[in-house]
Amino acid sequence: AKAAYVLAADFGAGSGRVVRGALEGRKLTLKEVHRFPNDPVQLRAELYWDFLRLFHELKQGMQKGTEGMSSPIQSIAVDTWGVDYGLVDGAGRLLGNPRHYRDTRHARSMNDVLAMVSEQELYSMSGVLPQQINSLFQLFGELRERAADVRPDTRLLFMPDLFHYYLSGEQACEYTIASTSGLLHTGEARWNEVLMSRLDLPESLFPRLVQPGTVLGELTGDLVQELRTGPMNVVSAGSHDTASALAAIPATQSDFAFISCGTWSLMGVERESPVLSDLSHKLGFTNEGTVSGKVRTLKNRSGLWLLQECKRQWQRENRCYSYQELIQLASTATAHQSFVSPGDDVFMSPGDMPARIRQQCQSAGQSVPGTVGEIVRCILESLALEFRQTLDELEQITGTKPAVIHMVGGGVHNRMLCQFTANAAGVPVIAGPVEASAAGNCLMQYVALGELGSLSDAREIIGGSFEPDIYTPEQQDCWQEAYGTYQQIYVLKQQQP
Ligand code: LFR
């Protein structure tokens, strides 16, 4: 069979890449053609994404991905991190750079909304856990600040939709990315007008919703000329990176938990219907849409963010380490000395993370990690213990204990983290593919193009195309003990009245 080529642009919160996918018979291969950093920009008190730069990188990637190819590229799709959006005016101009979800102002907007609609109500109306990053809160705050800029023909587009718009001229919001906003009806591809009217959000802001795997249109003539790529389709695949990553999990059984680990770690299970109990709310689980119309019940916590920020801080202090060096240092540090709660709010905004980590260890009466190796070890062990905690909670809220953990995303490179996770969780970790978001993005393009029939078809392709690494649990006794300590400090204490 002749190969069918597509381009997948996957923007993470820390870095982006453009990948060329080739489907030949039942085998998918990925070739990374362009990779670039994605650094937030602080401007006065505000934190932004540099959209124009990101669009430039996208174009670079498209050029590199088509250069020298004798076969045509059939389509392109973009997936990105969740919740963030841009506004465009009636002429299609971008109304300023999209705000970053880590902007500290969103906390206030959330409080203002919660004064109007309670947390419980928001949770049951949207299925989405109220968290300050949600588009709903961001938008509420933004509209108050710049009400005059919003006209009847102003439109909101989530990050991937924004890229798709400037590639194709078509305005639409794709379902999986919209499902991170808190603005849809629970588990449905339908804007929540009830919520909009209660919060005075103009319905006119919201364009039509499209399903994952939809051909939106064609690359504009201007871009075909500028980039010399030849014509291609612009597709809404799974536009949320997490939805795309889950589409590329080579699961052969249904009782699995997944961890998509990058800057964030998203851990959960795939289900037919959302979990909306008081317990799942209290434990911090949210429900987002999958590419096949199911639900992902998951916890959205910090992943490698802590490590990334520590690395940046050490760089500022003129101590530059590669990730490999950091892990090497961690491997020589003593095990199970101190733990942090990686998802704690104190770690949310950028800054001197090593200091915050020491601070948290100290306030919890633990030994304070001093060396770089000790800090890195503390982060990785804490992440693994948090995964174990989440696994237990998933069992509590769904009644089923997952038999394995599928881990995908950049975190898979971190072999120490994978092994720690298996050790802490007491179940095997099946790790890979690393570029799950890009792979899932490609697969849904093939579904849109009619090259593949369905998601289960797509998952089989992943199983036959990538060899996973399997980690079996080790050192169960000392990890069990560590888990007890972690729970004592960060879980049980909080449950006491
Ligand atoms: C992961 C992710 C999460 C989302 C977070 C913030 O990259 O998409 O799913 O909640 O970014 O947008």
Q: Cα(489) to centroid of ligand 1, in Å?
A: 27
| ipTM of the shown complex | 0.92
Q: Closest ligand 1 atom to the C-alpha of 300?
A: 10
pLDDT digits over 310-354, tens only? Answer: 999 999 999 999 999 999 999 999 999 999 999 898 998 899 999
Q: Which residues contact 369 (CB under 8 A, 6 or more apart)?
A: 333, 337, 338, 357, 358, 361, 375, 377, 378
pLDDT digits over 22-37, tens only? Answer: 999 999 999 999 999 9
Using the predicted structure, report yes or no on whether residue 204 has a pLDDT greater than 60. yes
> How far apart are the C-alpha atoms of 374 and 352, rounded to whole Å?
16
pLDDT digits over 411-460, tens only? Answer: 999 999 999 999 999 999 999 999 999 999 999 999 999 999 888 888 88
Ligand 1 pocket residue status of 241, Cβ below 6 Å:
yes
Looking at 84, 103, 161, 241, which residue is catalytic?
Answer: 241
Written as six digits, the tokens of 20 are 């060329």
> How far apart are the C-alpha atoms of 207 and 174, rounded to whole Å?
10
Averaged over 364-388, what is the pLDDT?
97
> How far apart are the C-alpha atoms of 442 and 350, rounded to whole Å?
32
Q: Are 353 and 310 in contact (CB under 8 A)?
A: yes
Ligand 1 pocket residue status of 414, Cβ below 6 Å:
no
> How far apart are the C-alpha atoms of 76 and 215, rounded to whole Å?
10
Q: What is the pTM of this model?
A: 0.93
Written as six digits, the tokens of 59 are 């174009």
Of all protein residues, the one whose alpha carbon is nearest to atom 10 of ligand 1 is 82
Q: Cα(261) to centroid of ligand 1, in Å?
A: 10
Q: What is the pLDDT of residue 252?
A: 81
> How far apart are the C-alpha atoms of 419 and 427, rounded to whole Å?
11
Ligand 1 pocket residue status of 82, Cβ below 6 Å:
yes
Testing ligand 1's pocket by substitution, the residue of 78, 242, 298, 308 carrying the most ligand atoms inside 8 A of its CB is: 242
SS3 track for 3-20: CEEEEEEEECCCEEEEEE
> How far apart are the C-alpha atoms of 287 and 268, rounded to whole Å?
9
Helix (H, G, I), strand (E, B) or coil at 131: coil
Ligand 1 pocket residue status of 339, Cβ below 6 Å:
no
